[in-house]
Amino acid sequence: MISEAMTPLPFRALPYDDGGAGLPYPSKIIAVHLNFESRAAERGRRPEQPSYFLKPVSSLASSGGVVERPAGTELLGFEGEIALVIKETTRRATPEQAWSRVAGVTAANDLGVYDLRYADKGSNLRSKGGDGFTPIGPALIPADRIDPGRLRLRTWVNGEPVQEDDTGALIFDFARLVADLSQLITLEAGDLILTGTPAGASVIMPGDRVEVEVDAPSGPTTGRLLTTVSAGEVPLAGYGAGPKVDDATRADAWGNGAGRAQALRQAQGAPGNEAQGAEGPLTEEVRAALGRVGTATLSSQLRKRGLDNVSIDGVVALRSGERLLGIARTLRMVPLREDLFKSHGGGYNAQKRAVDTLNPGDVLVIEARGEPGTGTIGDILALRAKVRGAAGVVTDGGVRDHDAVAELGLPVYCAGAHPAVLGRRHVPWDVDQTIACGGTTVQPGDVIIGDADGVLVIPPGLVAEVAADAVEQERQETFIAEQVAAGEPVDGLYPMNEAWREKYRQWRP
């Protein structure tokens, strides 16, 4: 008679379509801690060697499933990832051999509850090992159909893109991970290796829908891996570690927008001006040039380049004579809906996260849909922005505590003053996404400049040449103004004909 302990395990269907490869159910799931350059920039650290943790196979789920945020917790995080599926028993594979031991790749979502991360001292067992915390699928892309160095990973939350990166930006390539792990651990057919998440991972709420997709350029795709979040009803009992959060944990969970903006600042500054380097588009030379010209001149230079809708309209400085220059960080407000304000308006919300992660030289640009009927920032958060070294704030909504904010000396441009708080008109929604402010589009990494004439948005790749040409334009206008003051007529002088241009060349210092 066969004992209960000897009874074979029941067959378990794979949570993804393996395309007829006949792969077995995995014996283990191994996840990499940090492996995308963008995520390393966001976290402020870059590992010298890969490091890993295990997730139980009971955490696997398929596309279309529902994951429960445990009752009493608030910080369920998503991380879109590429999962490698091992093809055959692998031990001590070299990096040259390793890719041949991979059956293919699929999409994965490395879900975790930050409220419990403290409890297991880095093992992540309870924080990332819960049932349904590793959805994968829906389909496998065979390894022989792709170049592992040219895969794209994308994540959406409620239809909005939140992550996009490619495997050319990995710190440790797939072959290295397989070779490294197989030095000490026998990898078996069907085993999964989650290869790390790019920048943009954040927190999801009950009712949110998360989608992850992996594809190759003009090639195969995994399809979108869909997971919906539900609210748990059974609280964790007192005989185990309970949820524990603080502001530092919340900032970590929601994501370091400052790190992401720095990565964007460097990435967006490169096209057309590769010499900018880590300093970004606002080099000392560019800053000096922009300090000598007004937004009116810059506006005409941008128009010459086909950019006519680059002003943030309807905003004025709190203090007369204010000037503003910095790199954009963004915050989006959506129209008030009471149920959404209940879930997104309190606690460490998007507004507080945006202010708390500002870096020196950042300008916080707030999309408030031109609605001035409530404040979008007040004295406490403005003070926090100043302490963080921010260059200023621009909002097409209202400002609370007008006089107190003005006295801080932080450049602030707004649509007016209003005493009410956010909940009257707005829900703070997300940070460091492309937004609309004052009738124009603003992206993290754009250059923001303001003076008495208004506020402009300058694409970072154009700012150096625009600044140089604006300096030259103002030099010419100084010459023209001197001639007009001396009694010369403007015909032929403004704009200058060739005769006046020759006189200008002789006058030019």
Label residue 417 by pLDDT band (50, 70, 90).
Answer: very high
Omega before 138 within 30 of 0, i.e. cis: yes
Q: What is the pLDDT of residue 296?
A: 95
Residue 11: predicted pLDDT: 61
Assign 40 a pLDDT band (cuts: 50, 70, 90). Answer: confident
Q: What is the pLDDT of residues 450-498, one digit of tens each?
A: 999 999 999 998 999 999 999 999 888 889 999 999 999 999 888 889 9
pLDDT at 465: 93
Mean pLDDT of the chain: 90
pLDDT of residue 348: 79
CA 421 vs CA 96, 156, 349, 424: distances in Å: 60, 30, 14, 6
Q: How far apart are CA 17 and CA 39, in angstroms?
A: 29
Instruction: Tell me the average pLDDT across 248-275.
Output: 51
Contact 418, 368 (CB under 8 A): no
Residue 34 has pLDDT above 80, yes or no: yes
54 is in an annotated binding site: no
Is the Cβ–Cβ distance between 61 and 134 less than 8 Å?
yes
Euclidean distance between the first and final Cα of the chain, in Å?
A: 103
The domain locations on the chain are: 13-255, 259-463
Q: Kindly state the average pLDDT of the residues 252-276.
A: 47
H-run or E-run covering 327: strand 324-335
Work out the pLDDT band at 264, boundaries 50, 70, 90.
very low
pTM over 0.75: no
CA distance linking residue 302 with residue 314, whole number of Å: 19
- Here the tokens at position 164 are 């996009």
Least-confidence region, from 136-150, 213-227, 258-272: 258-272
Find out whether 401 is annotated in a ligand binding site.
yes
Looking at the chain, the whole-number percentage of residues with pLDDT higher than 70 is 93
Cα–Cα distance for residue pair 117/399, rounded to 1 Å: 37
pLDDT tens string 189-209: 999 999 999 998 999 999 999
Q: Look at the block and give the residue holding tokens 């093809």.
A: 87
Per the CATH hierarchy, to which homologous superfamily does domain 259-463 belong? Ribonuclease E inhibitor RraA/RraA-like (3.50.30.40)
In degrees, to the nearest 5, what angle opens at C-alpha 213 toward C-alphas 200 and 34? 45
pLDDT at 437 over 70: yes
The CA distance from 203 to 194, in Å, is 19
pLDDT, residue 454, reads 96
What is the per-residue DSSP string for 120-163? GTT--HHHH-STT-EEEEEEEEEGGGS-TTS-EEEEEETTEEEE
pLDDT at 265 over 50: no
Q: Under 8 Å CB-to-CB from 164, ≥6 apart: which residues?
A: 152, 153, 154, 155, 198, 200
Instruction: Answer whether CATH 3.90.850.10 is correct for domain 13-255.
Output: yes
Q: Which of 254, 231, 423, 434 is nearest to 340 (CA)?
A: 423
Confidence grade of residue 219 (pLDDT, cut at 50, 70, 90)? confident
Q: Average pLDDT in the 98-105 region?
A: 97
Average pLDDT over residues 76-90: 97
Confidence of residue 10 (pLDDT cuts 50, 70, 90): low
pLDDT of residue 279: 53
Is 313 annotated in a binding site? The answer is no
Express each pLDDT in 316-373 by its tens digit. 999 999 999 999 999 999 999 998 888 888 877 889 989 988 989 999 999 999 999 9
Find out whether 378 is annotated in a ligand binding site. yes
Task: Tell me the mean pLDDT in the region 394-407.
Answer: 96
Please check whether residue 440 is in contact with residue 312, taking contact to mean a CB–CB distance below 8 angstroms.
yes
DSSP 434-455: -EEETTEEE-TT-EEEEETTEE
339 is in an annotated binding site: no
Q: What is the pLDDT of residue 129?
A: 96
Distances (CA, A) of 54 to 33, 134, 183, 293, 474: 10, 11, 16, 57, 62
pLDDT at 273 over 70: no
The reported pLDDT for the residue numbered 3 is 40
